[in-house]
């Protein structure tokens, strides 16, 4: 049994399709089928049932898939350790970040890092706080940056920056000239919010009881998947929202949004990494730089 055979098996099993698995690995369909057939013949075990033009994992195949993925993960970890011996002269770094962090806070840090370490390639994956935590948990991302708190014992979590939330409306909204705003008005307003699972929405809803507002009473007229969509809808007069000040500051200065005089909580941005996964020199250097401790010393 070879690592290449394991990779082929996992690709085909994940897709439950030989052609698609072969395409993922840039292999021919015949080479992929031959590798699966060799595994089944060598161990006299049927890994897939052929049903018409489809294939599905057998019980043995499902059990083997768990072990195959574990072996490949260990092999990838070993490759990472070896590649890391080159230090910061080569390598790659995968970051995952929630939208506010990815779009407004992280880019300057990435630019400084690339200027200092041009040989390190960086990939950035964007998702909400829950998605970022999952990517770090699964080892897909080396480091995660989020604006929501994570309760996960396997994670190392460190605060790296502060952020202010601000309640904003369009200039034609009744609240634009109403100061200060009674919190009882929250229940009668139309709200434009991010989807559930976003750090911004979670923080806003967590702050409402202290203002005497039940989050379940909010009239959420629109749930949108990005800060930019929320901001544009509010600028167009669709309702009110709470976003990071980083998201709204340009529009407030331009007069297309108005900040309402209501105390909103401060929050922190957090860096996430898996406690039990190897931390490369490239990742260590980025963590230090993003936290303004970028002297490149371990």
126: left (phi over 0), alpha (psi -120 to 50) or beta: beta
Of 58, 84, 110, at which residue does a domain stop? 84
How is residue 290 written in tokens?
A: 């993003």
Q: How high is the pLDDT of residue 294? A: 47
How is residue 128 written in tokens?
A: 């909400």
In a domain, 80, yes or no: yes
Regarding whether 153 and 23 lie in a shared domain, the answer is no
How is residue 298 written in tokens?
A: 């371990």
Q: How high is the pLDDT of residue 84? A: 67
CATH code of 61's domain: 1.10.10.10
Q: Which residues of 216-242 are buried (b: 16+ CB within 10 A; e: fewer)?
A: eebeeeeebebbeebbebbbeebbbbb
Regarding whether 259 and 178 lie in a shared domain, the answer is yes
DSSP 105: I
Residues forming a β-bridge with 274 = 155
In a domain, 63, yes or no: yes
Regarding whether 284 and 136 lie in a shared domain, the answer is yes
In a domain, 297, yes or no: no
Whose tokens are 């995968």? That residue is 94
In a domain, 298, yes or no: no
- Residue 198: CB atoms within 10 A of its CB come to 28
CATH code of 188's domain: 3.40.190.10
Q: How high is the pLDDT of residue 144? A: 95
Regarding whether 133 and 273 lie in a shared domain, the answer is yes
Regarding whether 134 and 256 lie in a shared domain, the answer is no
Regarding whether 72 and 19 lie in a shared domain, the answer is yes
Report the number of distinct structural domains present in the chain. Answer: 3
In a domain, 295, yes or no: no
Contact 258, 176 (CB under 8 A): yes
Domain around 18: 3-84
Regarding whether 196 and 227 lie in a shared domain, the answer is yes
In a domain, 122, yes or no: yes
Regarding whether 92 and 69 lie in a shared domain, the answer is no
Per-residue pLDDT of the chain (298 residues; tens, 9 = 90+): 888 888 888 888 888 888 888 888 888 888 888 988 898 888 888 888 888 778 888 899 889 888 888 888 878 777 777 766 666 777 789 999 998 899 999 999 999 999 999 989 999 999 888 889 988 988 889 999 998 778 888 889 999 998 899 999 999 999 998 766 777 788 889 999 998 888 888 889 988 888 888 888 889 999 998 999 999 999 999 999 999 999 999 999 999 999 998 888 888 899 999 988 888 888 989 999 998 854 443 3
Contact 213, 182 (CB under 8 A): no
In a domain, 296, yes or no: no
Of 67, 84, 101, at which residue does a domain stop? 84
Contact 58, 48 (CB under 8 A): yes
Regarding whether 283 and 252 lie in a shared domain, the answer is no
- Residue 73: CB atoms within 10 A of its CB come to 13
Regarding whether 255 and 202 lie in a shared domain, the answer is yes
Regarding whether 274 and 156 lie in a shared domain, the answer is yes
Nearest CA among 86, 178, 198 for reference residue 133: 198
* pTM assigned to the model: 0.64
Of 39, 54, 84, at which residue does a domain stop? 84
Regarding whether 186 and 114 lie in a shared domain, the answer is no
In a domain, 9, yes or no: yes
Dihedral, 257, 262, 267, 269 alpha carbons, nearest 10: 0
Peptide bond into 180 cis (omega under 30): yes
Residues in contact with 90: Cβ distance below 8 Å, sequence separation at least 6, in sequence order: 83, 119, 120
* Angle in degrees, CA 78, 84, 88, rounded to 5: 165
Dihedral, 38, 42, 48, 54 alpha carbons, nearest 10: 20
Q: How high is the pLDDT of residue 192? A: 96
Q: How high is the pLDDT of residue 114? A: 93
Contact 132, 97 (CB under 8 A): yes
């Amino acid at each position: 049994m070879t690592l290449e055979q394991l990779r082929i098996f996992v690709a085909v099993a994940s897709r439950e399709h030989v052609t698609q698995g072969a395409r993922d690995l840039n292999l021919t369909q015949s080479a992929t089928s031959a590798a699966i057939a060799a595994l089944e013949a060598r161990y006299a075990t049927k890994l897939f049932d052929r049903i018409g033009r489809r294939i599905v994992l057998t019980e043995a195949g499902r059990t083997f898939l768990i072990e195959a993925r574990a072996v490949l993960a260990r092999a990838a970890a070993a490759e990472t350790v070896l590649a890391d011996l080159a230090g910061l002269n080569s390598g790659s770094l995968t970051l995952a970040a929630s939208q506010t962090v990815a779009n407004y806070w992280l880019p300057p840090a990435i630019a400084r890092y690339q200027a200092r370490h041009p040989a390190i390639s960086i990939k950035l994956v964007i998702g909400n706080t829950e998605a970022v935590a999952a990517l770090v948990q699964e080892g897909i991302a080396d480091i995660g940056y989020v604006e929501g708190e994570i309760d996960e014992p396997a994670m190392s979590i460190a605060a790296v920056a502060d952020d202010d939330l601000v309640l904003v409306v369009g200039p034609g909204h009744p609240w634009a000239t109403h100061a200060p705003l009674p919190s009882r008005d929250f229940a009668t307003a139309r709200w434009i919010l991010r989807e559930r699972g976003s750090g911004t929405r979670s923080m806003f809803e967590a702050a409402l009881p202290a203002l005497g507002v039940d989050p379940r009473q909010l009239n959420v007229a629109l749930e949108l998947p990005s800060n930019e969509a929320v901001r544009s809808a509010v600028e167009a007069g669709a309702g009110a929202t709470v976003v990071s000040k980083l998201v709204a500051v340009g529009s407030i200065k331009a007069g297309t949004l108005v900040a309402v005089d209501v105390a909103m909580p401060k929050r922190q941005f957090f860096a996430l990494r898996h406690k039990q996964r190897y931390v490369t020199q490239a990742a260590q250097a980025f963590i230090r730089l993003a936290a303004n401790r970028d002297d490149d010393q371990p």
